[in-house]
Structure 1
Amino acid sequence: MRLKVLGCSGGIGGPEARTTAFLADDDMLIDCGTGVGDLALEELAAIDHIFVTHSHMDHIAAIPLIVDAVGEMRGAPITVYAIPEVLRILRAHVFNWLIWPDFTAIPDRRRPFLRMQPIKVGEEIRLGDRSITPLPALHSVPAVAYCLDGGTGQLVYSGDTTYSPELVTAINACRDLRHLIIESAFPDEQHGLALASRHLSPTMVAAFLDEIAGNPQVHISHIKPGQGERVMAQIAAAGARLHASALRQGQVIEF
């Protein structure tokens, strides 16, 4: 599987700060933040599947715009996969005819431009030779992480989460983990804010990584704009067993 980083910033502010979105192969998005806007129209039309970790705007902002842009170009609906709580939020607060049209009913409910597929933590979704499995995460709203399996290796993306023993256990159960993308939204000076908003800070990331049994390459995402050097220096100073590097917009990970 090939994963391209369209956006991995914890906020906006210039061309290098796109919010979270990953393009898996050519037909799948993992989260759908502002980074999706850099894809060409033809690339957007090729997307069949969107897997959402949670309902916060920086992870869903481009979903309404994609469907509006390419719905008429496609012969099948785009499918959004998420846990039921997230789908309920999208229906109630985004695709509600007030914020955005309900594309699950356009042009009609028999042939919509968008469909929503509920998923369960631990339940594998197979797409050809690939599989995607939701893992437990702990955030300020209902959320999941994802394990992506391309058949020759696995990648886990934490989404937004604070420390979660259940997530650590799920990661350690991955039989062939090659890459771990984990967030660190705030520097240690804002540790209290990280706890309150259920994000991770560098010290928490280091403690998290020390509980990971394997040796995946670790990539840090969701750093707030302007905090990258400070956050990465603090993670390094914390001395976790696993080395971590900052995820970069445009980076490609193959596994």
Structure 2
Amino acid sequence: MKLKVLGCNGGIGGGAHTTAMLLDEDILIDAGTGVGNLSLEELLKIDHVFVTHAHLDHIAFIPFLVDTVGCQREQPLIVHALPETLSSLQQHIFNWHIWPDFTKIPNTTRPYMRLESLSVGTAIVLNGRRITPLPSNHTVPSVGFWLDSGQASLAFTGDTTTHDPFWEVINQIDNLRYLIIESAFSNAKQDIAIRSKHFCPALLIEEFKKLQRDVDIYITHLRQEEAEQTMREIMAGVSDLHPQRLLYQQIFEF
């Protein structure tokens, strides 16, 4: 597997993009604003979108993607998500008011887009690549994703906060090589992090005590105005784990 980071920030502007990652050439993990930097040729190759949750910074470019390439595709774009997330997409985005319902365009027999439900712990296998939804704890129903090539694995938390079931799964992945985990706020905004069910360094440092695997750790969802401060606060508490800041266009091969 080859995973390319298209966006990993908590906002936009100045070259920052919200969460999106391209797995090989045909799978998106979330579809934030970074998807907009792909060429038309690259967009046409995307067959699947795996969505962690329904918040706009993770789904913003699904409507533009299907609108751009739908009429040029022979098969529908498949969006994989929890039933609650799919319901939110249908009710609030693809509702003929905000955007057309592409599950019915040009018709229900051969639509431009198809929605498929995920469940935590149940793997989807695509050409030998295993994608498994991971437990998550956010303000809306959400998942992370475990990407397993057979040789090695990468785990992505999505948006989350303290959650023992996540670590119970992670610690059982024998071939885990990479962990991408969020910290959306610095410690100065710990109260906001708690209310919005995100991590800040103080919360994240406590969570890392549950990690029993030797993995490379990358921090995502950093807010531009406090990213450096947030990373300093994380490093001060877990310098032995050597966490690194996830970067735009960073590539993982596993």
- In which range does the TM-score fall when normalised by the shorter chain? over 0.9
SS at match of 1:192: helix
Where do 5+ consecutive residues of structure 1 fail to align? none
**1:52 matches 2:55:** no
**1:197 matches 2:196:** yes
SS at match of 1:133: strand
The alpha-carbon deviation at position 18 of structure 1 amounts to 0.3
Match of 2:183 in 1: 184
For residues 79 and 209 of structure 2, what CA distance do their matches in structure 1 show?
Answer: 34
SS at match of 1:155: strand
Match of 1:70 in 2: 69
1:98-140 alpha-carbon deviations (Å, 9 max, x no partner) = 0000000000000000000001100010001101000110001
Match of 1:247 in 2: 246
* Residue range with higher mean Cα deviation, 207-216 or 96-105: 207-216
For residues 29 and 127 of structure 2, what CA distance do their matches in structure 1 show?
Answer: 17
Deviating above 4 A after TM superposition, structure 1's stretches of 4 or more consecutive aligned residues are none
**1:6 matches 2:6:** yes
1:56-109 alpha-carbon deviations (Å, 9 max, x no partner) = 000000000000000011100000000101000001000000000000000000
The alpha-carbon deviation at position 170 of structure 1 amounts to 1.3
Contact 1:218–1:245 under 8 Å retained in 2: yes
1:195-221 alpha-carbon deviations (Å, 9 max, x no partner) = 000000011112212211111100000
The one-letter code sitting in structure 2 at the alignment partner of 1:231 is: T
**1:138 matches 2:137:** yes
SS at match of 1:215: coil
For residues 240 and 181 of structure 2, what CA distance do their matches in structure 1 show?
Answer: 15
For residues 45 and 199 of structure 2, what CA distance do their matches in structure 1 show?
Answer: 34
For residues 38 and 206 of structure 2, what CA distance do their matches in structure 1 show?
Answer: 36
The one-letter code sitting in structure 2 at the alignment partner of 1:246 is: R
Contact 1:203–1:235 under 8 Å retained in 2: yes
Contact 1:206–1:240 under 8 Å retained in 2: no
The alpha-carbon deviation at position 240 of structure 1 amounts to 5.5
SS at match of 1:233: helix
The alpha-carbon deviation at position 43 of structure 1 amounts to 0.3
Contact 1:34–1:62 under 8 Å retained in 2: yes
SS at match of 2:225: coil
1:1-255 → structure 2 map (5 Å cutoff): 1-15=1-15, 17-239=16-238, 241-255=240-254
For residues 169 and 213 of structure 1, what CA distance do their matches in structure 2 show?
Answer: 10
SS at match of 1:141: coil
For residues 227 and 150 of structure 1, what CA distance do their matches in structure 2 show?
Answer: 34
SS at match of 2:181: strand
SS at match of 2:43: helix
SS at match of 2:13: coil
